[in-house]
């Protein structure tokens, strides 16, 4: 046999199986990878879920880690890793954990992981700028394991919002996170073992965070094979990336571009009211530095202490004009302090109408018919269109005789000057500085107990009341109700108490609500998104429709 025929023989031997292989490969359907790329405004700084509560971090972490209590799109508590819960008595709550849940590495989830998570939070993460650990301190919670799938939480006195607090605490795996104190171990994926619908894949700081589908998720089939978060801080660039197709979806589309996006058939916009209330907060000191009469002399007493002046200022603000001209339609004029659908919303409490004549009449009645001067302080880079809202309000007040000067500043300066504490721990920071400031309050908990306590209750360093009450408003009727609400476990009774407190506060104009922000997301046509009130973007709420 010649050499040539030897080679030919070998070729003959292998061509049939080779052809068969090729045929099989071509016949196999090419699995299309479903990838969702989301352009986000803020970058996630750490994947350790106990590190901060900044929504930029939380929204990425929520894909990997879950909590005992989840929140629906109106921020109301629903079962998460806990299948059910109930108060056993005034100070004990029982949480039944979900069975059959697996960690991303296959280990079973049980009560030991929950106990470890709470211990880790209480022990403190060194250097964590804003760990959610304080949710455990509220009510002085203690926790015990009853069996592998039951936990008891005890509080110091009756404490109604245990479930809402636990909705802020992601559970980490004991076997993965034991001893982990450095963020890097989470960012590299080593300790980022969760129970959520997505597995950690890649974290490239400043560039992208990638997560991939968890095939064993207890919550059902996950639609997306891969989700990529790309931070794009510049509004215009983020929009360009969507228009260009570099990303499939963006959060916070610039409000001036919303009308164009809504009309464009290639794109869809999803909308829902946010939990963030934008309001004007007066200062209640006897003499306020930034309020002067028309000649520039400081006024005694401070006009803000007269409710008629506050009401006049509220009536002088044209909330509809702000919504239409400044916010591009993306705001909800308000007098409630929590948005519709939240626990504590008062039906029938409508936003003040625009009535400059009545405003003028009230000012005359109060003795300020000639008007006075005031300086309005606010941030210029924190809330949507904040500087423009300040300018609009100033112009509206000037029309009723209150000459208003605007002082807008970057948020790091603004909040340093706004937030006040008590004299001992923050010397020099106990007396409010601003006489009228514009700020926001986001009710992350889905219910009004801590909104009322934070913004309407008298400041009390010992109990934590009024921690957001920087104007130092004080009303004993509200205080009594707020303290009672924090101890009332029965939801219906608590709801009535909260609604009373809110109505009293708003009729007295403790502060002047302007509007709730409206959350918008813009995405390619063919995608459908279930929007949420707490501004977070979750890939499990996005699906393809076509």
Partner 1 sequence: MAEFIIKRVLQALLVLLVMTVLVFFGVNVIGNPVYIFASSECDQACLTKIIADLGLDRPVWEQYLVFLGNLLQGDLGNSFTHGIPALSLIFERLPATLELAFAALVLALVIGLPLGMRAGLKPEAFSSRCIMAFSMIGFSLPVFWIGLIMILVFSVQLGWMPSIGRGDTVEVFGTEFSFLTLNGLHHLAMPAFTLSLIMMAMVIRLTRAGMREVLFADYIKFARANGIRERRILSTHVMKNILIPIVTVLGMEFGGVIAFAVVVESIFSWPGVGKMLIDAIGVLDRPLIVAYLIFVVFMFVILNLLVDILYSILDPRVRLGDSPT
**Which residues contact partner 1 (rule: CB under 8 A)?**
39, 43, 45-46, 48, 51-54, 124, 126-132, 134-135, 137, 182-184, 187, 204-208, 230-234, 236-237, 240-241, 243-247, 381, 410-413, 415-419, 421-422, 425-426, 441-445, 450, 454, 461, 464, 467-468
Rounded to whole angstroms, the Cα distance separating 53 from 247 reads 26
Q: Which is nearer to partner 1, 311 or 494 (CB)?
A: 494
Q: How far is the CB of 123 from partner 1 (least distance, A)?
A: 12
Q: Which is nearer to partner 1, 20 or 130 (CB)?
A: 130
DSSP secondary structure code for residue 98 in this structure: P
CB 430 within 8 A of CB 420: yes
Q: How far is the CB of 35 from partner 1 (least distance, A)?
A: 15
Q: How far is the CB of 119 from partner 1 (least distance, A)?
A: 17
Q: How far is the CB of 504 from partner 1 (least distance, A)?
A: 21
Q: Which is nearer to partner 1, 25 or 462 (CB)?
A: 462
Rounded to whole angstroms, the Cα distance separating 7 from 14 reads 11
Residue 44 burial (CB count, 10 A): 22
Q: How far is the CB of 383 from partner 1 (least distance, A)?
A: 13
Q: What angle do CA 315, 317, 319 make, to 5 degrees?
A: 110
Please report the beta strands in 255-311, taking only residues with DSSP state E, as ranges in sequence order: 267-282, 291-292
Q: How far is the CB of 127 from partner 1 (least distance, A)?
A: 5
What one-character-per-residue DSSP string does 444-508 give?
TTSBSHHHHHHHTSPPBTTTTBTTT-TT----HHHHHHHHHHTT--SHHHHHHHHHHHHHHHHHT
Find all residues with CB under 8 Å of 219, minimum gap 6, and list them: 197, 540
Rounded to whole angstroms, the Cα distance separating 161 from 141 reads 11
Q: Which is nearer to partner 1, 69 or 363 (CB)?
A: 69
Q: Which is nearer to partner 1, 72 or 381 (CB)?
A: 381
Q: Which is nearer to partner 1, 82 or 232 (CB)?
A: 232
Q: Which is nearer to partner 1, 107 or 185 (CB)?
A: 185
Q: Which is nearer to partner 1, 299 or 461 (CB)?
A: 461
CB 254 within 8 A of CB 444: no
Rounded to whole angstroms, the Cα distance separating 479 from 491 reads 19
Q: And the tokens for 537? A: 């973007």
CB 43 within 8 A of CB 203: no
Q: How far is the CB of 449 from partner 1 (least distance, A)?
A: 10
Q: Which is nearer to partner 1, 327 or 444 (CB)?
A: 444
Residue whose tokens read 């592998």: 148
Rounded to whole angstroms, the Cα distance separating 19 from 23 reads 6
Q: How far is the CB of 338 from partner 1 (least distance, A)?
A: 12
Collapsing DSSP to helix, strand or coil, 14 comes out as helix
Q: Which is nearer to partner 1, 144 or 416 (CB)?
A: 416
Q: How far is the CB of 114 from partner 1 (least distance, A)?
A: 22
Q: Which is nearer to partner 1, 401 or 513 (CB)?
A: 513
Q: How far is the CB of 526 from partner 1 (least distance, A)?
A: 19
Rounded to whole angstroms, the Cα distance separating 172 from 200 reads 13
Closest CA to 298 of 286, 313, 310, 281: 286
Stretch (H or E) spanning 359:
helix 356-366
Closest CA to 88 of 142, 153, 138: 153
Q: How far is the CB of 471 from partner 1 (least distance, A)?
A: 15
């Amino acid at each position: 046999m010649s050499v040539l025929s030897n080679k030919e023989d070998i070729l003959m031997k292998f061509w049939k199986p080779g052809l068969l292989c090729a045929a099989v490969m071509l016949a196999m359907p090419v699995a299309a990878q479903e990838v969702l790329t989301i352009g986000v405004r803020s970058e996630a700084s750490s994947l350790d879920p106990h590190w901060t509560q900044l929504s930029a971090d939380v929204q990425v972490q929520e894909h990997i880690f879950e909590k005992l209590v989840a929140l629906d799109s109106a921020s109301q508590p629903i079962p998460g890793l806990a299948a059910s819960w109930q108060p056993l008595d005034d100070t004990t709550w029982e949480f039944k954990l979900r069975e059959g849940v697996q960690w991303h590495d296959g280990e079973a989830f049980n009560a030991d992981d929950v106990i470890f998570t709470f211990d880790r939070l209480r022990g403190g993460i060194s250097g964590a700028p804003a760990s959610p650990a304080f949710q455990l301190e509220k009510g002085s919670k203690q926790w015990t394991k009853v069996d592998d799938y039951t936990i008891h939480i005890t509080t110091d006195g009756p404490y109604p919002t245990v479930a809402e607090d636990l909705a802020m605490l992601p559970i980490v795996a004991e076997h993965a996170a034991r001893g982990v104190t450095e963020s890097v171990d989470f960012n590299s994926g080593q300790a980022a073992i969760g129970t959520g619908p997505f597995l950690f894949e890649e974290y490239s700081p400043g560039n992208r965070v990638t997560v991939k589908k968890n095939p064993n998720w207890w919550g059902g089939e996950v639609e997306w094979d891969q989700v990529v978060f790309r931070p794009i801080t510049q509004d215009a660039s983020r929009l360009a990336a969507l228009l260009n197709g570099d990303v499939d979806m963006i959060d916070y589309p610039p409000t001036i571009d919303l009308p164009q996006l809504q009309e464009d058939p290639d794109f869809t916009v999803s909308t829902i009211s946010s939990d963030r209330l934008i309001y004007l907060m007066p200062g209640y000191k006897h003499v306020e530095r930034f309020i002067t009469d028309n000649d520039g002399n400081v006024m005694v007493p401070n006009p803000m202490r007269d409710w008629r002046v506050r009401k006049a200022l509220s009536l002088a603000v044209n909330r509809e004009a702000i919504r239409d001209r400044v916010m591009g339609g993306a705001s909800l004029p308000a007098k409630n302090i929590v948005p519709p659908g939240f626990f504590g919303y008062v039906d029938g409490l409508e936003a003040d109408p625009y009535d400059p004549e009545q405003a003028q009449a009230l000012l005359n009645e109060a003795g300020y018919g000639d008007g006075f001067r005031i300086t309005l302080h606010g941030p210029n880079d924190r809330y949507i269109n904040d500087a423009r809202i300040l300018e609009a309000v100033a112009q509206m007040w000037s029309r009723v005789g209150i000459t208003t000067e605007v002082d807008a500043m970057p948020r790091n300066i603004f909040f340093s000057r706004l937030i006040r504490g008590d004299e001992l721990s923050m010397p020099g920071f106990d007396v409010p500085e601003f006489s009228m400031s514009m700020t926001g309050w986001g009710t992350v908990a889905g219910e009004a107990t801590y909104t009322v306590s934070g913004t309407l209750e008298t400041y009390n360093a010992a109990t934590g009341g009024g921690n957001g009450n920087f104007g130092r408003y004080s009303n004993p009727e509200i205080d009594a109700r707020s303290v009672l609400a924090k101890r009332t476990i029965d939801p219906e009774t608590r709801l009535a108490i909260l609604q009373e407190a809110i109505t009293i506060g708003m009729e007295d104009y403790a502060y002047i609500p302007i509007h709730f922000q409206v959350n918008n997301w813009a995405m390619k046509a063919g995608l459908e998104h279930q929007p949420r009130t707490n501004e977070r973007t979750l890939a499990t709420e996005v699906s393809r429709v076509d």
